[in-house]
Chains A and B, each alone.
Chain A
Amino acid sequence: MAICRHFHKPDLFLTMTANPKWPKIIYSLFSGQTATDYPDIVSWVFEQKKKALLKLIDNGFFGTTVAHIHTIEFQKRGLPHIHLLIFLYPQDHIWDSHHINSMILAQLPDPQL
């Protein structure tokens, strides 16, 4: 609650789960192996992806960020999963539906693309 008092309301809520078929993981495996055989590689790759994501967001992907909070949890299947809350600067707050549409979609993509 102290966080909210300080930064006001969070603007965006993002979740990301590791993909065991990421090329970086697949290239490291010998034939016949799956990502579950190398938990160290999966956690390394996920850490790198997490860093890339945070860097992208800090560089203003959604707008200038004031702060972010994240926690990592592990699913029962074992894959890591990040929950990330992003606080934006007041001038970059999300105000109207056009702004939302430019960032977030909830429809199937156009098959022509």
Chain B
Amino acid sequence: MLHGPCGVNNLQAKCMVNGKCSKHFPKDFRERTDWAKESYPLYTRPNNGLVFECNGARFTNQYVVSYCPQLLLLFDCHLNVEISARLGTVKYLSKYIYKGPDRATMEISGGMQDEIKAHLDGCFIGPIEACWKIFEFNMHRVTSSPTSSYSSSQ
């Protein structure tokens, strides 16, 4: 899993904010993994000269997103693993539950100009998401949810 190309090579990349990559790529080379508690670990990125070329872009170890090699081999898809250092990640997951469906603003204009013109706050559901809901697969799951002692004593 590689990030980019962004930075000096591609200033038009989506992750670029004010001329810098918002995901902090490319990261510095590092000979060993450092980890201070309560922060994200800094993984080993040796400067060993390995270069991967794809679509004319050159990637070194600086552009690699953290991954688990065994899982990648088993599942053959985009699969990233990271040490979760902050409590905020739980909140981040809950955000998706309560965010609601994606919305798109549409403008309908018919053959007769200026006659049919309406703005709709449409609910955007992709075909795969529609199938997912038809099959009644769950959108989120907590293995065991803690219940408050107050409500259980009622």
Q: Which residues of A approach B to under 8 Å, CB–CB?
A: 1-7, 9-19, 22, 36, 39-40, 42-44, 47, 49, 52-53, 56, 61, 67-74, 76-80, 83, 85, 94, 96-97, 100-101, 103-109, 111
Asked if A73 contacts B96 (CB within 8 A), the reply is: yes
Give the chain A neighbours of B140 by CB distance below 8 A. 69-72
Closest to A44 in B: B135
Give the chain A neighbours of B92 by CB distance below 8 A. 83
Q: A43-B137, A76-B102, A97-B41 are in contact. Are A4 and B75 (CB under 8 A)?
A: no
Asked if B77 contacts A17 (CB within 8 A), the reply is: yes
Since A3-B145, A39-B128, A69-B140 are in contact, a sample of 20 more A-B pairs with Cβ atoms closer than 8 Å, ordered by chain A residue number, is A2-B146, A3-B142, A14-B68, A17-B78, A19-B78, A22-B77, A43-B131, A53-B75, A61-B70, A69-B93, A69-B141, A72-B137, A72-B138, A74-B126, A80-B132, A85-B84, A106-B43, A106-B64, A106-B67, A108-B59
In the complex, A42→B52 CA distance in Å? 30
Asked if A107 contacts B64 (CB within 8 A), the reply is: yes
In the complex, A21→B27 CA distance in Å? 30
Q: A3-B90, A85-B84, A97-B34 are in contact. Are A14 and B79 (CB under 8 A)?
A: yes
The range of chain B's interface size is 35 or more
CB distance from A89 to the nearest CB of B (A): 13
CB distance from B138 to the nearest CB of A (A): 8
In the complex, A10→B104 CA distance in Å? 34
In the complex, A96→B83 CA distance in Å? 12
Asked if A16 contacts B148 (CB within 8 A), the reply is: no
Closest to B81 in A: A14
In the complex, A77→B96 CA distance in Å? 17
Asked if B139 contacts A71 (CB within 8 A), the reply is: yes
Give the chain B neighbours of A85 by CB distance below 8 A. 84, 89-90, 93
Contact with A along B61-94 (1 / 0, CB 8 A): 1001111111100111111111111010111110
Closest to B99 in A: A73
In the complex, A39→B45 CA distance in Å? 38
In the complex, A82→B145 CA distance in Å? 19
Q: A12-B83, A104-B66 are in contact. Are A18 and B77 (CB under 8 A)?
A: yes
Give the chain B neighbours of A7 by CB distance below 8 A. 146
- Residue from A4, A44, A68 in contact with B143 in the complex, judged by beta carbons closer than 8 Å: A68
